[in-house]
Chain A
Amino acid sequence: EAGVTQFPSHSVIEKGQTVTLRCDPISGHDNLYWYRRVMGKEIKFLLHFVKESKQDESGMPNNRFLAERTGGTYSTLKVQPAELEDSGVYFCASSKQGTGNTIYFGEGSWLTVV
């Protein structure tokens, strides 16, 4: 069974440009999460989808970040326009329906804004 996959694995963009990160969760997982780790700090929650609905987006830093999960399958996280402080690793994760189930993480998308 394939794990959580993320694309691209690495991205270098200029300040002001747009980047779109994609996440394919484990098949059948209704829950999908985005987290990020910037500048060697702690990993922080961004948001949580249940199927196509945003369950919790309290961690989204500002309106330059837009997450979607059309059809309840894969998800995208767009940063527009990117700023230097957005550099870091963006992790996607998924879990089965309900709470208390193991959360599986992807390998992360490394974003560098120059």
Chain B
Amino acid sequence: GNSVTQMEGPVTLSEEAFLTINCTYTATGYPSLFWYVQYPGEGLQLLLKATKADDKGSNKGFEATYRKETTSFHLEKGSVQVSDSAVYFCALRPPAAGNKLTFGGGTRVLVKP
């Protein structure tokens, strides 16, 4: 079946530090891959996505590259801010699953000033 595994948190780091959140997946075929973010008190927001191998999604300074050979979609940001404190979810949507998303467990990130 389809599954997403992401590193457990919480991840605590200082402002301007480099952030990496690992995400690997198992899926049939070639899924689309997503990162969603949930800021405190808010709903899930799409952060970035990639729909085919070697695609790079980027938004708000975050990047993730679809790596088919390692079935990974790691999220990175070069210099985090306090406002990046949130829970980050990696997700996939297999081509045959219509619009159904499969999520990872979420990684809480806390950025301290």
In the complex, A102→B46 CA distance in Å? 8
In the complex, A95→B44 CA distance in Å? 14
Q: Mark A60-102, 1 if CB is under 8 A from B, else 0.
A: 0000000000000000000000000000000101010001111
Contacts of A93 in B (CB 8 A): 44
Contacts of A4 in B (CB 8 A): 43
Contacts of A35 in B (CB 8 A): 101, 103
With A43-B44, A48-B98 given, can you name 4 additional A-B contacts, CB distance below 8 Å? A3-B43, A45-B100, A102-B46, A105-B44
A-B contact pairs, 9 of them (CB 8 A): A31-B99, A43-B91, A43-B101, A43-B106, A100-B99, A103-B101, A105-B43, A107-B41, A107-B43
Interface residues of B in 85-113 (CB under 8 A from A): 89, 91, 98-106
Contacts of B49 in A (CB 8 A): 102
Interface size on A, residues (CB 8 A): 28
- Do A42 and B45 touch (CB < 8 A)? no
- CB of B36 within 8 A of chain A? yes
Contacts of A25 in B (CB 8 A): none
In the complex, A48→B101 CA distance in Å? 11
- Do A42 and B42 touch (CB < 8 A)? no
Interface residues of A in 24-52 (CB under 8 A from B): 31, 33, 35, 37, 40-45, 48
A48 in contact with B44 given A41-B105, A42-B104, A43-B89 (CB within 8 Å):
no
With beta carbons under 8 angstroms apart, the residue of A41, A48, A108 that contacts B99 is: A48
